[in-house]
Each structure stands twice: as C-alpha cells, then as structure tokens.
Structure 1
Amino acid sequence: MNRLIVAVLCGLLFGAGMVVSDMINPARVLAFLDVTGAWDPSLAFVMGGALIPSAIAYLIRRRMEAPVAADTFHVPESRNIDTPLVGGAVLFGLGWGLVGLCPGPALAALTTGAWQAFVFVGALVAGMALFRLTLDRNA
C-alpha cells in the first residue's frame, strides 16, 4: 500500500507540473517544434528546469541503499542501443511531433475534459493492447 501512495503522489506532482507549465497544451509543444516559424522556447525552459530536481534525485540515490517504498532500485542494466529502442524512440518522436502530446501530459490533460486528450489516451491504450497481443503471439 505504501508503494501505491508514493506512486499516486508522484503522479499527482508530475501532473500538476504539466498543468502549471502548460505542457498539456499541444499547441505549446508544436510551437516549440516549429523552429522555422513562430518558435516558442518555453518547453526548453521546462525541460532545463526538470534537470535540477533530477540531478538532486540522482545524488540522493547514490547515498541510499534502497528506495523508500521498495527493497531495491530498479535501474536498467543494459546500455545497448538496439533496433527496438531506436524504433520506439522514432515512433514516440513522430507521435509527439504530429500531435503535440506524449503519454504523461496526455494523462494530465484528461483533467481538462478536452476530447482530444481522451482520443489520444484511447489510442495509446489501444496501441499498448495491440502490442501485448503481438508480444504474446511472438513468445
């Protein structure tokens, strides 16, 4: 139960950050990607600002033996850049560039009631289900 509470609090904090920074607004993200037109650099400041708590968290993690709500840290061991990683990054980038949303901000955008967010999250869930079905067949 403790892990669930920590996860919900982290999700709420992340979602609030997305709402406050207006990163749930696809137009803002698309304006950041429009480097030859009406470029909006605000996303760069949000990403740059996110480096500060992230760097602090990595420093704290080095001094801890285990996280607060788990027995061990779950850090990926592989550092290989392989085809699935590159393919996933390309698909993510294409979707982000076409729509102006990625999964985290899209979930936060559901709080606005915008139909576009619901369509995006529905497509996201359908894509994950399709992947699971495909994965199960290939196993």
Structure 2
Amino acid sequence: MRNIIGFAAGLIFGLGLIVSGMANPAKVLNFLDILGPWDPSLAFVMGGASVTAFIGYRLVWRRGTPVMGTQFDLPASGTIDAPLLTGAAIFGVGWGLGGFCPGPAWASLAIGSTGILVFLPAMLIGIVLADFGKSSPLFAKKGA
C-alpha cells in the first residue's frame, strides 16, 4: 500500500510540474536570465509550493507517527556546512546550465523533451558516482 501511495504522490507531483511549466527547461532558464527575457512565473510556482509545504508539514507533525510508517525520517543534523553548500552550488549550476532538476527531469520524459535524453543519463551516472564516492577512501571523513 505504501508503494501505491508513493506512486500516486509522485504522479501528482509530476503532473503538477508539467502543468506549471517546471518540466520545460526554457521556462526555467528564462526565470534565471534576469537580464534577458525574464519570466517571473516560476517564482509564483515556487511560492505556492512553499506555502503548501509549510502548511502540510505543520499538519503532519501534529501526528505522533506517519500514516504509512513507524517514525518520521528527518535529517540527523541541521548544520549548514561546506559539503551542504558545495552540493547546493553544484545542484544550482547544473540546474542553470541544463534547465532541469531531478523531479522535472523525470516528468520531462512524459512531454518528450529532447534535452532530457542527455540530461537524465548524465544525472543517473552522477548519482552512481556520488554513491561510489561515499565508499571511496578519498571522501572518507577524517577521524572516522
């Protein structure tokens, strides 16, 4: 049942990305290009999502446990450190250069975006390499 609910939530999210235009890399790039043909509509999509998430989290956290689980899966640390900032910067640069982030990338498969045929395989390779990097001695934390 949990997988069915997860699939339904992902489907609704993906449809929302398509309807809002977030799966269109040109729309994203036009939002980021403040000196060119700037398109502010993405700010309204992000603002609406932020308000919805804020309200949703407040309602969900009133419960003792999740509906489909035994405990909430929250980050162990709230620290803003160099790895977090580096990852955010890499994500932002990738989003700006490619016009996709992971959610809209998957949703773009449904609308047949040609750029997705390059971006999605590169993203999946990056995920595998990042997972490999976690187990590499080069990336091991000092003192661990």
CA RMSD after TM alignment:
1.2
What is the CA distance between 1:122 and its match in structure 2? 0.4
Residues 1:91 and 2:90 aligned together = yes
1:59 alignment counterpart: 58
1:114 aligns with: 113
Structure 2: unaligned runs, 5 residues or longer: none
Q: Which moved more, 1:58-67 or 1:22-31?
A: 58-67
1:62 deviates by: 2.5
Partner amino acid, structure 1, of 2:29: L
Over residues 21-77 of structure 1, what are the superposed CA-to-partner deviations in whole Å (9 max), with x where a residue is unaligned?
011110100000111121100000000111232122112122101111111111113
State the 4+ residue runs in structure 1 displaced beyond 3 angstroms: none
Which residue number in structure 2 is paired with residue 74 of structure 1? 73
Whole-Å separation in 2 of the counterparts to 1:114 and 1:27: 11
1:9 aligns with 2:20: no
Give secondary structure in 1 for the equivalent of 2:23. coil
Structure 1: stretches of 5+ with no match in the other structure: none
Larger deviation: 89-98 or 45-54? Answer: 45-54
Higher normalized helix content (fraction of residues): 1
Q: Scaled by the length of structure 1, what TM-score is found? A: 0.93
Q: Which residue of 1 aligns with 2:133?
A: 134
Q: How many residues align?
A: 138
TM-score (norm 2): 0.90
CA shift for structure 1 position 113: 2.3
Match of 2:73, SS state, is coil
Distance 1:137 1:58 in 2: 36
Identity over the aligned pairs, expressed in percent? 48
Per-residue CA deviations over 1:70-118 (Å, capped at 9, x if unaligned) read 1111111311111110110010000011111100000000112223112
In 2, Cα distance between the equivalents of 1:109 and 1:9? 17
Equivalent-residue separation in structure 1 for 2:71 and 2:58 (angstroms):
16
Deviation at 1:134, TM superposition (A): 2.1
Q: Distance in 2 between matches of 1:129 and 1:78?
A: 24
1:124 corresponds in structure 2 to 123
